[in-house]
Amino acid sequence: MKDNKTQKVIKQIGSGGPEVLNVVHEEIPSCKEHQVLIKVAAFGINRPDIFQRKGNYAAPTGVPADIPGLEVSGVIVEVGSKVSQWKIGDQVCALVGGGGYAQFCLAHEDHCLEVKDNLDLVEAAGIPETLFTVWLNVYQNLETFKQLENVNKRLLIHGGSGGIGTMSLSLALYFNWETYTTVGSDERAELCEKLGAHHAVNYKKQDFEEVFKGLNFNLILDSIGGDYFLKNINLLGEDGILVYINAIKGRMGEVNILKIMQKRLKITGSTLRPRTDEFKGNLRDEIQLKVWDAFLKGEIKPVIQEVMDASEIIKAHQKLENGEVFGKLIMKW
Annotated domain spans of the chain: 6-127+273-332, 132-269
Average the pLDDT over 3-8 and give the result: 84
Three-state DSSP at 40 gives strand
The CATH number given to 6-127+273-332 is 3.90.180.10
Indicate the DSSP class of residue 145: G
pLDDT surpasses 80 at 141: no
Q: Give how far the C-alpha of residue 300 lies from the chain's centroid of Cα atoms, to the nearest Å.
A: 15
What is the structure's pLDDT at 209? 97
The answer to whether residues 98 and 136 touch, using CB atoms and an 8 Å cutoff, is no
φ/ψ region of 263 (left if φ > 0, alpha if ψ in -120 to 50, else beta) reads: alpha
- Phi, psi dihedrals of residue 191, rounded to the nearest 5°: -65, -40
The answer to whether residues 212 and 156 touch, using CB atoms and an 8 Å cutoff, is yes
Strands 35-44 and 71-79: antiparallel
Q: How confident is the model at residue 225 (pLDDT cuts 50, 70, 90)?
A: confident
Domains 6-127+273-332 and 132-269 share a fold: no
Q: How confident is the model at residue 60 (pLDDT cuts 50, 70, 90)?
A: confident
More confident residue, 206 or 251: 206
Residue 130 contacts by C-beta under 8 Å, 6 or more apart in sequence?
A: 44, 46, 163, 164, 166, 167, 302, 328
Average pLDDT, the chain: 92
The CATH number given to 132-269 is 3.40.50.720
Three-state DSSP at 64 gives coil
pLDDT digits (tens, 9 = 90+) for 65-116: 899 999 999 999 999 999 999 999 999 999 999 999 999 999 999 999 999 9
